C-alpha cells in the first residue's frame, strides 16, 4: 500500500512547495481536490512541471460542468507537461452543487457517469470517439500534445457506481469512507466488477483526515468542526452511516503516533492500494503527523 499526501493548497506557489517537499520526503503521490479554489489540472501543470519523481492526482474533478472531450484535452495537455505523472480522479460532485449552484440536472447520476466514461476513455487512449449516450453525446477527434492516457479513478461510493468504475475505469478514490466499508463494500465490489470485465485489478485509493496528537478530544472536536459538511452531504452521510460513524471524527485517524501508524497499516488488509492522508491540527500536530507518514513509506 502506498502512503500519499492529500493537500489543500490555496495557490500554485504553495502547491509547488508542497509537491517538492513531498517528493523530497519520498512520497510516491500527492492528491489535490477540485472544489471552489484553484483549477486542479491548471495548477498541476504549472506546479508539477519542475518537481519530478512524484505522481499528482485530482480528487476529484466534477464531471457535470465539463464535457468529457474538454476534460480529455485538458488532462492530456497536463499529462504532457508533467511527463506522464497524472492520476485523473473524477466524480459527480453533489446534487446541491450540481443543481443548486450550476443549474444542471442531477437525474440518473450513474447513467451520466457511464456515458461520461464511454466518451472520456476512448478520447484519452485513441484521441477519437463516436458515442451517443442517454445523457451525453461525444463525436470527434482531439489533437493534444503526445502523452499516455492517465489512469482514471472514479469517486465511487455506492454499489452501482463501484461496479461501473470496475467495468470502465482504473479504480476508485474515496473520502470520508471508513475501513470496514472499504473492506466489505468498496474493495470487493469494484474488484469483482473489474475481474468480470477482464480488466486489471483496480486501484483503491482512500483519503481520510489524520492527526497525531496528545489531545484526542480536542482533535476530534476540531475534526467535527472542520469537516462538518461531510456529515451532511447525502452521499458521505450514507458512508458514515454504513460505517456506524456518527460524525466525521469517527472515521478520522486520530491518536498518538503508534496508534495512528497501526491504523494506517491496517488499511492494506482492507484492500486499500493508496492511502492519502489529509493532515490537520496545530503546527506541532501537523509535523508529528508528517513524521508518522514518512515512517510508513
Cell of 209: 483526515
pLDDT confidence band for 290 (50 / 70 / 90): very high
pLDDT confidence band for 82 (50 / 70 / 90): very high
Q: Which residue in 61, 171, 64 sits closest to 108, CA to CA?
A: 64
Give the count of beta carbons closer than 10 Å to the beta carbon of residue 136.
21
Domains and CATH numbers, the chain: 2-295 (3.20.20.30)
Residues linked to residue 178 through DSSP beta bridges, in sequence order: none
Average pLDDT, rounded, for the chain: 97
Q: Which residue in 232, 212, 224 sits closest to 287, CA to CA?
A: 212
pLDDT reported for residue 191: 98
pLDDT reported for residue 121: 98
pLDDT (tens digit per residue) in 175-213: 999 999 999 999 999 999 999 999 999 999 999 999 999
pLDDT reported for residue 124: 98
Quote the CA–CA distance of 288 and 99 in Å, as a whole number.
41
Quote the CA–CA distance of 6 and 175 in Å, as a whole number.
11
Half-sphere CA count of 157, side-chain side, radius 13 A = 22
Amino acid at each position: 500500500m502506498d502512503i500519499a499526501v492529500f493537500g489543500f493548497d490555496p495557490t500554485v506557489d504553495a502547491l509547488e512547495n508542497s509537491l517538492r517537499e513531498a517528493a523530497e520526503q519520498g512520497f510516491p503521490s500527492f492528491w489535490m481536490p477540485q472544489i471552489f479554489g484553484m483549477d486542479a489540472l491548471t495548477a498541476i501543470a504549472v506546479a508539477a512541471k519542475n518537481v519530478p519523481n512524484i505522481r499528482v492526482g485530482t480528487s476529484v474533478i466534477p464531471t457535470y460542468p465539463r464535457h468529457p472531450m474538454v476534460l480529455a484535452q485538458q488532462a492530456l495537455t497536463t499529462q504532457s507537461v508533467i511527463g506522464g505523472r497524472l492520476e485523473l480522479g473524477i466524480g459527480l460532485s453533489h446534487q446541491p452543487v450540481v443543481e443548486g449552484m450550476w443549474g444542471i440536472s442531477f437525474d440518473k447520476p450513474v447513467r451520466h457517469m457511464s456515458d461520461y466514461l464511454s466518451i472520456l476513455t476512448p478520447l484519452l487512449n485513441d484521441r477519437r470517439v463516436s458515442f451517443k449516450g442517454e445523457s451525453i453525446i461525444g463525436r470527434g477527434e482531439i489533437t493534444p500534445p503526445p502523452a499516455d492516457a492517465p489512469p482514471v479513478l472514479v469517486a465511487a461510493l455506492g454499489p452501482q457506481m463501484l461496479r461501473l468504475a470496475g467495468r470502465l475505469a482504473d479504480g476508485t478514490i474515496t473520502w470520508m469512507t471508513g475501513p470496514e466499508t472499504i473492506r466489505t463494500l468498496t474493495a470487493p465490489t469494484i474488484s469483482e466488477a473489474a475481474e468480470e470485465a477482464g480488466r486489471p485489478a483496480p486501484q483503491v485509493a482512500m483519503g481520510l483526515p489524520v492527526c497525531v496528537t496528545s489531545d484526542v478530544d480536542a482533535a476530534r472536536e476540531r475534526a467535527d468542526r472542520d469537516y462538518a459538511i461531510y456529515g451532511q452531504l447525502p452521499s458521505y452521510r450514507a458512508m458514515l452511516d454504513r460505517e456506524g460513524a456518527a460524525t466525521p471524527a469517527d472515521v478520522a485517524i486520530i491518536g498518538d503516533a503508534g496508534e495512528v501508524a497501526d491504523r494506517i497499516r491496517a488499511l492494506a488488509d482492507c484492500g486499500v492500494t493508496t492511502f492519502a492522508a489529509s493532515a490537520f491540527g496545530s503546527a506541532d500536530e501537523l509535523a508529528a503527523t508528517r513524521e508518522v507518514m514518512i515512517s510508513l513509506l
